[in-house]
Amino acid sequence: MRPKRPRMSGDDDASGLRRGLGLPGAVSIVVGTVIGTGIFLKTALMAQLLGSAAWVLAAWVAAGLLSLAGTLTYAELAAMMPQAGGPYVYLKAAYGKLPAFFFGWKELLSTKGASNAAVSMAIAIFLTQLLPIHVVWTQRTLHLFHESVTWQFGSQQLEAIALIVILSAINCLGVRAGGAAQTVLTGAKLAGIAFLVIGAFAFSHGSWRHFFETGSTDTARAAGLSAFGAAMIAALWAYSGWGDLIIAAGEVRHPGRTIPRGLIVGIAIIIIVYVVTNVAYIFALPLAQVAGANSTAFPNAPPVAARVAAAFLGAGGAAFLSLLFVVSALGTLNGGILTGSRIPFAMAQDGQMPAALADLHPKTRAPIKAILFLGAWACLLTLTGTFDQLTTLVIFVDILLDAIGVMAIFLLRRSMAGAHRPYRTPLYPWVPALYAATLIWLVANTVWTNPLEVAGGLALLVAGLPVYLYFRTRDRRRPGLTRPEPTTV
């Protein structure tokens, strides 16, 4: 006998999830998840590539407008099919179950699981700078493929696990609790960045002459299309994460209105924050100091944001930036837990993951088992020390599946021509075509410049194929099976 579904109210999605996210919560997910570490680090690399303040700002604006094109496209799909899982749902509708499974597999294994682990470890590292309590209980050096990999277990790993556990517990209380936490963290993050910007303009003794400087031959390459494209890729990394709201579409109130507004308002806020913050960086510091900040070329230098904070806070600048980084990264981690757990939930509803992951708590309507599953996986990755490698491998797959996902709008405009669309992408088909073409160019560029990364990303997808075949074979052996509805925990 099938377990009874929790009784739904008018605020519930058809899957049983509670639609508890209004516009403030939706905007907070977009802003709070996207603004993480990139705004504090990436400007140095972009200054090295372009050697001009004006071109650095242009790259931030161009990457923001490209992200806006993506949000305008996905907003139509999310408003038409406002279900948990986001792109998983659109890929399944346009292409079938296998591409949808590959998206969910990638999100679960690395994009959400590994990134949540990486963010929690980064927070623990910065907490050590604020509270210098760092203990290593055991450490081993492993030799793999002619490389040395150091594994350790200590206080930082426990702090990272504790952060995942605490935020997972908050999200188990329901989407309203998780959304409220995201709103608070996002507000604190924006307040900290505003303090950094105001301090840079008011107290750093900067100069507008910095905007007319050019980089030296040691720190700048000849500016051109390839250099601008590389700078845009760096900026796009800092813009990534806006799609998390789409993944949580099944819990957004009035999704036909709220999702498009949340995406557009969120990206607009991010573009303004990023551009204004970079103007503050360049005003406070000469371009040579911006280009010489922490990056691959200068790994031991302080981040550009730390240099700006030190320009008006002195010795306390490093502590302030550490605190700001912690608050910023907590918002990213909470957003990753809130939205990431909806991927295994949607896959379980579709029979591509264990059915228990589709269970909902009868009161909070939270997918607690999916939240705990994702949290346990992220905690495990903090212990392995391999999450950096996983997140590196998935970059290519992220771009590839995003390109395939955004092209679903062209297929669904034909196959679901009569579907109700509360929101339509403006300037269709040019906006989605521009976004898809740019992503395809990035895919081709990655194949050419980083073949090893491409091979690793494709291997990551292939590793999920046995899991897909297992669940597909299981269903074929039970031909009369009806997909179970979400049940109470």
Q: Is residue 13 part of a domain?
A: no
Q: How many CB atoms lie within 10 A of CB 259?
A: 30
Q: Is residue 179 part of a domain?
A: yes
- Nearest of 249, 467, 438 to residue 339 by alpha carbon: 249
Nearest-Å Rg of the Cα atoms of the chain is 22
pLDDT > 70? residue 223: no
Express as a percent the part of the chain with pLDDT over 70.
85
pLDDT (tens digit, 9 = 90+) per residue, 7-64? 444 455 555 677 878 898 889 889 988 888 788 888 988 998 888 999 999 999 999 9
Residues 308 and 297 sit within 8 Å (Cβ to Cβ): no
Beta strands 136-144 and 147-154, pairing class: antiparallel
Domain count, the chain: 1
Residues 114 and 390 sit within 8 Å (Cβ to Cβ): yes
How far is 413 from 84, CA to CA, in rounded Å? Answer: 21
3-state secondary structure of 318: helix
CATH number at residue 59: 1.20.1740.10
Task: Please list, in sequence order, all residues whose beta carbon lies within 8 angstroms of the beta carbon of residue 265, skipping any fewer than 6 positions away.
Answer: 23, 27, 30
How far is 314 from 311, CA to CA, in rounded Å? Answer: 6
Residues 138 and 153 sit within 8 Å (Cβ to Cβ): yes
Express as a percent the part of the chain with pLDDT over 90.
24
Residues 258 and 248 sit within 8 Å (Cβ to Cβ): no
pLDDT at 287: 92
Q: Is residue 6 part of a domain?
A: no
15-19, 140-144, 303-307, 398-402: range with highest mean pLDDT: 303-307
Q: Which of 104-108, 171-175, 340-344, 381-385 has the lowest mean pLDDT?
A: 381-385
Residues 219 and 48 sit within 8 Å (Cβ to Cβ): yes
pLDDT > 90? residue 315: no
Give the domain extent around 220: 23-476
pLDDT > 60? residue 87: yes
Helix 451-463 with 430-449: angle, nearest 10 deg: 110
How far is 371 from 168, CA to CA, in rounded Å? Answer: 6
Evaluated on CA atoms 165, 170, 173, 174, the torsion sign reads: negative
Q: Is residue 245 part of a domain?
A: yes
Q: Is residue 431 part of a domain?
A: yes
pLDDT mean over 362-386: 83
pLDDT at 247: 83
Q: Take residue 82 and report the two structure tokens written for it.
A: 């406002």
Q: Is residue 484 part of a domain?
A: no
pLDDT (tens digit, 9 = 90+) per residue, 317-368? 878 888 888 888 888 888 888 888 888 888 888 888 888 888 888 888 888 9
Q: Take residue 126 and report the two structure tokens written for it.
A: 């910065």
How far is 216 from 229, CA to CA, in rounded Å? Answer: 20
pLDDT mean over 149-170: 83
The rounded mean pLDDT for the chain is 81
pLDDT (tens digit, 9 = 90+) per residue, 174-222? 878 887 888 888 888 899 999 999 999 999 888 999 998 876 544 444 5
Question: Alpha helix (H) ranges present in 204-341?
Answer: 225-239, 244-247, 255-284, 287-291, 304-313, 317-340
pLDDT > 60? residue 153: yes
Q: Is residue 301 part of a domain?
A: yes
pLDDT > 80? residue 88: yes
Q: Is residue 3 part of a domain?
A: no
3-state secondary structure of 299: coil
pTM: 0.80
